[in-house]
Amino acid sequence: MSKELVQALDALEAERGIDRDVVVEALENALKAAYKKQYNANQNVEATFDDKKGKMTIKQVKTVVLDEDLLDPDTEISLTDALAINKAYEPGDEIRFDVTPKDFGRMAAQAAKQVIVQKMREATRQAVYNRYKDYEGEIITGEVERQDNRFLYVMLPGKQEAVMTAGDQMPNETYRMRDRIKVLVSKVDDSLKGPQIFVSRTAPDLVKRLFEQEVPEVYDGTVEIVSVAREAGDRSKIAVYTHDSDLDPVGALVGQRGARVQAVVTELGGEHMDIVEWVEDEAQYIANALNPAEVTDVIFDPENDQAVTVIVPDDQLSLAIGKKGQNARLAARLTGVKIDIKPESEANDLAVSMDEASDDSFDKAADEATDTDVDDSVDAMVADDNEENPEI
């Protein structure tokens, strides 16, 4: 049994990366529990396991007390008996006695084995959790294993199974067994049944990580992907920025003859990519986000700093809005503001109406002011006349 345990410890540490000390501690706790169950549950005992020699030792621990204070012989020893062992003992000291049974047999070994197996499972689960927690938010390549009504199951490196919900699966993709796919590790949960790893093909961060793999300037931070808005499988908008005035951030992502962006498009099954430049001028950034449509003006709502009206040429209206409103919707997500798009003709009509309304208001105010001034003048003249010609 002892030799087998040492071999098991070596294998666990070498093959699974489980901390040897964790397993040894679990084993010692198991030996202690097994001894107390089989022999004397009232004793205070310690169990030690020499992980080099495979030797197990059980020691009973007793506290030295004054003779008159001795109450529990299982956990205490009188000062007189302690001094007979060693003249240096004092009340409060602890003495350990080797009580390892010669017949610490099959029952104890089996009980210890059960606890050890449980502890090893826990240690394995924790090791897996720690490993994949570090991958959270990163891309990893896995192999499609199977699918049921709830999840698509993907086998990750290390033979660790991950799950992909329906919402994380690309609508334009069909997954078959043994397909190798790149996924984003979106969440790692440490549940009682073991770590559960969730992966995604639809997360916006997947686009960002793919560009990091394809574009060295993004990987090293020279070009920053500020924001990503995505309707997976169809279209994405990416806002990019660089502090290097000599570098075109959009061109960096596109690459020579579009090679870099095409690699990402291919990986995502033909998903279209709109890459725009992020600028500090918010109006210009919003105009950029509506690419490929031209923008005439961006008007901010004075009562709501999260809403704008964008004016576009009449022939650019459908392009600005996009099919089923997609272009405007993605631009709003990218910039974080509500965008209301109006054609120039409607904006001009609105401006004329506002001007006319303003003129009417001015005329009405002027008329009211004139009438009031005349009435006040007449009243003043009558008052002056009364003062000069009082009634007798």
Domain with 111 in it: what CATH number? 3.30.1480.10
Average pLDDT, the chain: 85
Q: How many domains does the chain have?
A: 3
Q: Tell me, what's the pLDDT at 370? A: 44
Residue 31 above 50 pLDDT?
yes
Would 111 be classed as within a structural domain?
yes
User: For residue range 95-114, what is the model confidence (pLDDT) as tens digits?
Assistant: 999 988 887 767 666 766 77
Tell me the pLDDT band of 126, cut-offs 50, 70 and 90.
Answer: confident
Q: Tell me, what's the pLDDT at 16? A: 65
Would 371 be classed as within a structural domain?
no
User: For residue range 135-174, what is the model confidence (pLDDT) as tens digits?
Assistant: 999 999 999 999 999 999 999 988 889 999 999 999 999 9
Would 124 be classed as within a structural domain?
yes
Q: State which amino acid sits at residue 117.
A: V
Query: What is the SS3 assignment for 114?
Result: helix
Cβ neighbours for 289, distance < 8 A, ≥ 6 positions apart: 237, 239, 276, 330, 331, 334, 335
Would 255 be classed as within a structural domain?
yes
Alpha-carbon span 233 to 283, nearest angstrom: 29
255 shares a domain with 271: yes
- Token match 């020691």: residue? 59
Where would I find the beta strands (DSSP E) of the chain?
45-50, 55-65, 76-78, 94-98, 139-147, 151-156, 160-165, 180-191, 194-200, 223-231, 235-242, 272-277, 297-301, 304-312, 338-343
Nearest to 51 by CA among 17, 27, 18, 16: 27
Alpha-carbon span 328 to 332, nearest angstrom: 6
Q: State which amino acid sits at residue 156.
A: L
Tell me the pLDDT band of 367, cut-offs 50, 70 and 90.
Answer: low
Alpha-carbon span 130 to 319, nearest angstrom: 48
274 shares a domain with 223: yes
274 shares a domain with 191: no
Q: Which residue has the higher pLDDT, 323 or 126?
A: 323
Cβ neighbours for 13, distance < 8 A, ≥ 6 positions apart: 19, 20, 23
Residue 3 above 90 pLDDT?
no
Alpha-carbon span 213 to 327, nearest angstrom: 26
Residue 230 above 50 pLDDT?
yes
The DSSP line for 37-89 is HHT-TTS-EEEEEETTTTEEEEEEEEEEE-GGG---TTTEEEHHHHHHH-TT-
Tell me the pLDDT band of 392, cut-offs 50, 70 and 90.
Answer: very low
Cα dihedral across residues 296, 302, 308, 309: positive or negative: negative
Cα dihedral across residues 116, 117, 122, 128: positive or negative: positive
Q: Tell me, what's the pLDDT at 307? A: 93
Alpha carbon 81 to chain centroid, angstroms: 63
Would 64 be classed as within a structural domain?
yes
Nearest to 122 by CA among 14, 29, 194: 194
Tell me the pLDDT band of 84, cut-offs 50, 70 and 90.
Answer: very high
Q: Tell me, what's the pLDDT at 108? A: 65
Alpha-carbon span 64 to 85, nearest angstrom: 11
Tell me the pLDDT band of 182, cut-offs 50, 70 and 90.
Answer: very high
Query: What is the SS3 assignment for 241?
Result: strand
Least confident of 16-20, 98-102, 341-345: 16-20
Q: Tell me, what's the pLDDT at 1? A: 54
Would 374 be classed as within a structural domain?
no
Would 383 be classed as within a structural domain?
no
165 shares a domain with 245: no
Cβ neighbours for 36, distance < 8 A, ≥ 6 positions apart: 43, 45
**Containing structural domain, residue 223:** 203-278
